[in-house]
Structure 1
Amino acid sequence: MQVKEKTEERKWKTTKVSLKDHICIPNFPTELSSYEYDAYFDEYSTKTATKPFSQAIPLWEIHVFNYPTTHATCSVIFKVHHSIADGFCLMNTLLSCLKRADDPSLPLTFPSRQRSKQPKNKLDFCRLSHFPARFFSSVSNFVLNFGWSIMKNTFVEDDPTPIKPQEDSMQLVKPIAISTMTFSLDQIKQIKNKLNASVNDVLTGIIFLGVRLYMQEHNPESSEANSSALILLNTRKAKAYKSVKEMVKKDSDAPWGNKIAFLPVPIPKLIDSPVVSSTPLEFVEKVKEKITLQRSPLSVFLAAKVFEILKNVTGPEIGAKLFKRKLKNSSIMISNLIGPVEKMALVNRPVKGLYFTVPGMPQSLMITIVSYMGDLRIVFGGEKCFINQQKLKVCIEDAFQRIQTSIKQKL
């Protein structure tokens, strides 16, 4: 657990763990309908997500909601403080507790991470002749995007919109409501193959288009607003899941801890594509282009180094404020994890579904994505009384349908 030294510096200290302090089993009225338990679960999960951890014990909890909802006969909430590790590590830890439901002796497998293959260009000399122009263009784009990232992380804040309230507060914990929606991974891959993109590019494009439609529906003037998202990236050399034992090794290529970078990506404006209903693929292409420009390994590395230097020079308290400012300057945070293809079981009980969220962020909208058994579940953690989650999900679904229709028309 973390303890504060006399110098006010926080350090990790080994401590004894009492399970009764960490495992919570709430009590609710019995013999209610599954719909009534849905309401209880939503209220309980929201309260659990936003309640601060006790600083007197290690920062993790397990909540067992042993009542049947419309989604499952029993629900389990794993709550872990981000200071312990990032989502990659915590997913590894969770997977170590789970087995394949069909055959526990077999390992879990995961969807492929490969992009669609580009058709080979036989005229290689043409590409060589364009190399100088492409090189200088790449350098120019790197300088511009690196500079934009630094400014975005420090003092350039998004405009107030229907997804970002106009406020000066640096309040970190906001009351949130959690809701989810699901897409088929195969359908997303169809779009991915058509656009020669990654699954993440397509999902981000769908989310960005849906968010813009939501903003426009609430306030047409927000079409011209400057909005951006922070996308969390895993910076480890190894992207495949490892055992916890491997991760804690000294020279591991997938070390334990928080090994993430924040990728600021501007959300394209609908005014850039005036007839978005007929050109949704162009919108997704534009999102892919912006992500590619911002995802330069050198740019991500340098931006992280600049922030680390600022934190070391100014001290931990100012560093924490800079970190909060970096988060608050954007409108949305997006994070995703890959889940297994096969159905899992926890203590021989099949796992119907899983998802995660990251509460406690200054943004009013947090979006997380996880794949499981051929489906992609998108989770919305929206500020209560500000984000209309039902309407947002309708807009996201509308964006997906527009993009899918465009794909079918081109087949």
Structure 2
Amino acid sequence: MTQTRGKPPPSPIYSLRLRRIATKLEGAVSSTNFTRQAEPDEPVTPCGRLFCQPNMNCYIMCTLGFKNPINLPDFKRALQETLVKHKRFHSVMKKNMNGTDVWVPIEVDIHAHVFEPSGFSEEDVAAPHFVEKYVADLASAPSMSFSRPLWECHVLNGTSGDAAAHMIVRVHHSLGDGISLMSLLLACTRRVNHPHMLPSVPSKRKKPKVEPYFVPLNSLWTMLILLWNTILGLAYYFATILWMKDSDTKIKGHYGVDKAPKSLMYTVIDIDDMRVVKDAVNGTINDVLMGIIGAGLHRYLEGRYKVMQDVQSRDVDHRKDKSIVDHLRIRATALMNTRPTPGLQELATMMEGGSQTQWGNRLGYLIFPIPVKHFSDPLDHVRAAKKIGNQKKASLEGAFTYWSGALLMAITGPVLPALLTEHTTLQTTLAVSNVPGPMEPVMFNGNPIVHIYPAAAGQPSSLSIFFQSYDQKACLVAMTARDLIPDPGALCEYMADALQEMKRAVASRRQDAN
């Protein structure tokens, strides 16, 4: 990536101008005091190789809003002492003598990876939604050079809203999946109220205990359910590869959509509101998330198709319009991590030189039908999502997609798996990702973080929805292909409104019960 010297030519206000990147490859000693002798070369994971293919060249972008302006020199020193110590952040991908792709440590020039973009005035940076538009343009920025570690940080001081500054971390997907990278980022932070403590993250819900004499019967029944759901899931998966595709709606992507200009918008919702709905249907936060996505898409598509000519507001009777939207097939590709994510303490140890062999991508994916239908009871959106989610959780579909892809890559190389992944993703309508964040306010280098929201670019999808929790709040992010979905903010509002309708429905039932 290059940057023009001298006065920049006229360009759109949100165009990106990235500086030239240079690193030393030969005979280099890492700035983190690691040497190649201390760090044996580690092979690139199958998913990491997949994400290096031209048609699956994916990047993860995480935006952090800071309460105070960022002091760039101090910020660079803090990154060198934390994030850069992780091997993926001071290594490049090269082939060894056996032709295997491996991670090779090199020296990191921190000044080439962390910078303030030029070409913007103070008024530009302080404009509403500047950061979102910057991230959307960054999604279409040139690919990083594989001659250097595949990450960079963009620092924006003087932004408007609740954050005085923003940092956008752009990381190539080959370095790790979203959950692993978020966990690593959080391992670099500390609690605001307890500066020497790592943040806490949500834990998995404990399963109810089973009486000892029911254990054999319960185990047999669980195995039968697992087998049946796996067979159904794999049949659905292969049908999607061969012929089954989503309805050709106004929001469905096409080949080449990964290179299309992007739009991005997000809205903040309350986790406690989601818990109210979750408890009402005895479900999970994921069930509520998929339910509000279905409800939001239903309303958005109604407006796009102009099915109801007498619509004056969002709170109307939708019974007239079951002919088009209710019969659409809309599915999501939901990514899942197929191995346990390292704890924050373990990640902090990694950055001090501990073992890093369990790092990297190990992603499978599920094809999740979205309940885009009219329901008289708003909670039925969540109940429908819960029914599908329970089947997916009691299945090996996600693990199969990972292991079958890894086996195919070992036999044929990464080209064919990348083509199949691209084709399967294009058979669906959207991608969904849920990344849990810290449960209390955190800070990096003494600067409190006020919000976090992720995004990804390079995937062959016209609509990607990301859910990021942080301190009892959550950012619901929509990244879209601009020519197909020019108004992602409207979609975010529809999803947030759907959650409030569900909450009101729960309150109404409680009043009726009393």
Q: TM-score, normalised by structure 1?
A: 0.85
State the partner residue of 1:301: 399
Contact map agreement 1:23 1:61 (CA 8 A) in 2? yes
What is the distance in 1 between the residues matched to 2:466 and 2:387?
21
With over 3 angstroms needed to count, the CA separation of the structure-2 counterparts of 1:129 and 1:49, relative to structure 1, is closer
Counterpart of 1:322 (choices 401, 420, 437) is 420
* One-letter amino acid of the counterpart of residue 82, structure 1: H
Contact map agreement 1:174 1:361 (CA 8 A) in 2? no
CA offsets per residue over residues 325-382 of structure 1, 9 Å max, x none? 2222221111111111221112211111111111111111111111111101111111
Counterpart of 2:268 (choices 182, 189, 211) is 182
CA offsets per residue over residues 206-264 of structure 1, 9 Å max, x none? 11221122123212424312110011112223575453255696697xx2101222111
What's the secondary structure of 1:68's corresponding residue?
Answer: coil
State the partner residue of 1:48: 138
What is the distance in 1 between the residues matched to 2:222 and 2:109?
60
What are the ranges of 5 or more consecutive residues in structure 2 without an aligned counterpart?
Answer: 1-91, 308-323
What is the distance in 2 between the residues matched to 1:267 and 1:384?
22
The two structures, once aligned, show a CA RMSD in angstroms of 3.2
What is the distance in 2 between the residues matched to 1:175 and 1:394?
22
Q: How does 1:356-367 map to 2 (within 5 A)?
A: 356-367=454-465
State the partner residue of 2:302: 216
Counterpart of 1:152 (choices 224, 236, 240) is 240
The structure number with the bigger radius of gyration is: 2
Contact map agreement 2:278 2:284 (CA 8 A) in 1? yes
What is the distance in 2 between the residues matched to 1:314 and 1:389?
39
State the partner residue of 2:488: 389
What's the secondary structure of 1:312's corresponding residue?
Answer: helix
Q: How does 1:366-377 map to 2 (within 5 A)?
A: 366-377=464-475
With over 3 angstroms needed to count, the CA separation of the structure-2 counterparts of 1:98 and 1:135, relative to structure 1, is closer
Identity level (%)? 25
With over 3 angstroms needed to count, the CA separation of the structure-2 counterparts of 1:100 and 1:141, relative to structure 1, is closer
CA offsets per residue over residues 82-128 of structure 1, 9 Å max, x none? 1011112211221132111222023322234327x88x999x99x99
Contact map agreement 1:98 1:345 (CA 8 A) in 2? yes
State the partner residue of 1:161: 249
* One-letter amino acid of the counterpart of residue 187, structure 1: D
Contact map agreement 2:292 2:381 (CA 8 A) in 1? no
Q: How does 1:10-409 map to 2 (within 5 A)?
A: 10-28=101-119, 30-32=121-123, 35-36=126-127, 38-51=128-141, 52-114=143-205, 139-153=227-241, 155-165=243-253, 167=254, 169-219=255-305, 220=307, 221-238=324-341, 240-244=343-347, 255-270=358-373, 274=374, 276=375, 278-387=376-485, 388-409=487-508
What are the ranges of 5 or more consecutive residues in structure 1 without an aligned counterpart?
Answer: none
Contact map agreement 1:327 1:363 (CA 8 A) in 2? yes
Contact map agreement 1:154 1:322 (CA 8 A) in 2? no
Shift of 1:293: 0.9
* One-letter amino acid of the counterpart of residue 93, structure 1: L
Contact map agreement 1:114 1:198 (CA 8 A) in 2? no
What's the secondary structure of 1:370's corresponding residue?
Answer: strand
Contact map agreement 1:355 1:379 (CA 8 A) in 2? yes
What's the secondary structure of 2:383's corresponding residue?
Answer: helix
* One-letter amino acid of the counterpart of residue 50, structure 1: S
The worse-fitting range, judged by mean Cα deviation, of 92-101 and 133-142 is: 133-142
* One-letter amino acid of the counterpart of residue 265, structure 1: F
